[in-house]
Amino acid sequence: MTIRFGYWMPLGSGGFVISNVPQRTDWTLDYNASLAREAEELGFEYGLAPARFIASHGWELQQEAITCTAVLSAQTKRLKLISAIHTGFWHPAMIAKVGSTIDVYSKGRFAINILTGWFKDEFRAFGEPWLEHDERYRRSEEFIQVLKGLWTQDRFTFKGDFYSINDAWLKPRPISRPHPEIFQGGNSKAARRMAAKYSDWYFLNGTTVEGAKQQIDEVRALAKAEGRTVKIGLNGFIIQRPTEREALEQLEAIIAGADPEIVQAFAEQVKQAGASTADKIGMWADSSHANLVQPNDGFKTRLFGPPELIAERIRAYEAIGVDMILCAFLNFTDELPAFGREVIPLLNPAKANRAHEREPA
């Protein structure tokens, strides 16, 4: 199957790098609506609405993810809208109802990204208990089971350690079949087991081809043992320039402009999260200062340079089983359209005519 493309919706101020370098990116809903309409015309199939409630990596201002998903569903026609949800902050029955409503209205374009949670201070700020790492994943597993049950069964009962559902139902149920797609991230063994058992998609932080292959092989082997298949998404920060040298110069400028205090604070937060895993391989476990300037390790994918070089590197990931590249940009205003016009058609020829039609005069 041809590789797909999604993008991070810039719903927080500061963009997707912890740097003072100038950016042509905005965080308002009007901006995001315009960007989403352009993205779907240029071949992007998914937009991910990230969830953050208090500043952690320079996002002093944040929009709420599922609200934005609902708004943008009315502003778009084809784009599948993925809403990130922290399982510790919501009840799954409420999210099942909200998601069903958006899915029906958007004609099957709602999806959900399950966040088990790594930012301890956010939970403390809202008075929510901070569970041990693997317990947070057990809660997320139950959360997904409740979503699926309410989305697919006429009547649903569930008795778990975290949630209890008593002969409940939803009407109308989602029109997506068998249910809206369920995404998740994570890097720990607990995350990989959860993906294998319950999720439709597993997001990887940015990593090398070798690092991605190791995770993909493990997750798909675990899924096969469960009689399931799991699709793979990979985070990538795109720096598209006429030459690789110009792209690397831009990368150096981003890193040089990084705010050391914010990067260090983010590093301490995420290193604590990684160290809390039994296997010490949580997300960001091996991320350097430079890599943490892009909070989801997007620099590690090395998608820097002219369109042909970026496409070549994406093909290497596609060859090992990556199904989607989740893109972020420094300057969403002009770099997302440039990627859609110049890179996506190299990898998905079916999108070439639409991209050509959208070329600026």
Q: Which residues pair with 84 in a beta bridge?
A: 113
| Contact assessment for residue 313 and residue 302, using Cβ atoms and an 8 Å cutoff | yes
pTM: 0.91
Flag whether 361 is in a domain: no
Average pLDDT by stretches of 10, the chain with 361 residues: 94 88 93 98 97 76 94 98 96 98 98 92 89 95 98 98 97 97 95 97 96 96 98 98 98 89 68 57 61 84 98 98 98 98 93 59 48
Flag whether 131 is in a domain: yes
The closest alpha carbon to 337, from 36, 23, 42, 10, belongs to: 42
| Domain span at 106 | 4-354
| CA–CA gap between residue 173 and residue 147 (Å, rounded) | 11
Flag whether 359 is in a domain: no
- Cβ contacts of 314 within 8 Å, gap of 6 or more: 3, 236, 303, 325, 343, 347
The reported pLDDT for the residue numbered 118 is: 83
CA distances 61 to 15, 51, 54, 345, 360, Å, are 11, 12, 8, 35, 32
The reported pLDDT for the residue numbered 51 is: 92
The reported pLDDT for the residue numbered 45 is: 98
| CA–CA gap between residue 196 and residue 227 (Å, rounded) | 9
Flag whether 300 is in a domain: yes
Flag whether 56 is in a domain: yes
117: how many CB neighbours lie within 10 A of its CB?
Answer: 21
In the block, which residue shows the tokens 């369920």? 182
The reported pLDDT for the residue numbered 273 is: 60
Flag whether 350 is in a domain: yes
| CA–CA gap between residue 321 and residue 349 (Å, rounded) | 19
The reported pLDDT for the residue numbered 292 is: 80
Assign residue 17 the CATH number of its domain.
Answer: 3.20.20.30
Flag whether 360 is in a domain: no
| CA–CA gap between residue 110 and residue 99 (Å, rounded) | 7
Flag whether 336 is in a domain: yes
Q: Please tell me the total count of domains within the chain.
A: 1
The reported pLDDT for the residue numbered 282 is: 56
